[in-house]
Structure 1
Amino acid sequence: MDKSGPHSRDKQKATEKRTKEKKKKFSSRDVFYSVDHATSANSFYTCRFLSQKANREILDMQGDANAKFAWVE
């Protein structure tokens, strides 16, 4: 950076300000809420997947039971 000009200090301050603005994009509260929502969504979809898997297993067991019952008749 050129420090010889009369406005060089202003340029330096502007550069420092832009650097600080780039670094601070999220507040800690925003980050916490983002992580919390992501965790909640992950838990929701994991439970939903496991529930669907359990439902498929139950339907398969019912299908097997119906097949055995039909064989007995």
Structure 2
Amino acid sequence: MTFKEESGSSQVKGKYEFQNLDRGKIKGELVGTMNGDILNFDWQETSSKGKAKQQGKGSFLFRNSCKDFFGSYGLK
């Protein structure tokens, strides 16, 4: 997963990819806002096997100068 903070703002964009047995190659992206060490975001994913796009909301807490993060996400 890669994150990029937009210059001069608290907006963050991220991208990720992974392989899923049922859905094939998954490509996802997220867009959110940093508030201190917390990123609240909306995410969406597309599948290489033509399965329905998934989307939802989530939250990550960053630690160790943003080298570590943990959190949760769910479907809308």
| Alignment TM-score, normalising by the size of structure 2 | 0.16
Which structure shows the bigger proportion of residues in strand conformation? 2
Bigger relative CO (Cα 8 Å, ≥ 6 apart): 2
| Alignment TM-score, normalising by the size of structure 1 | 0.16
Mark the structure with the bigger radius of gyration.
Answer: 1
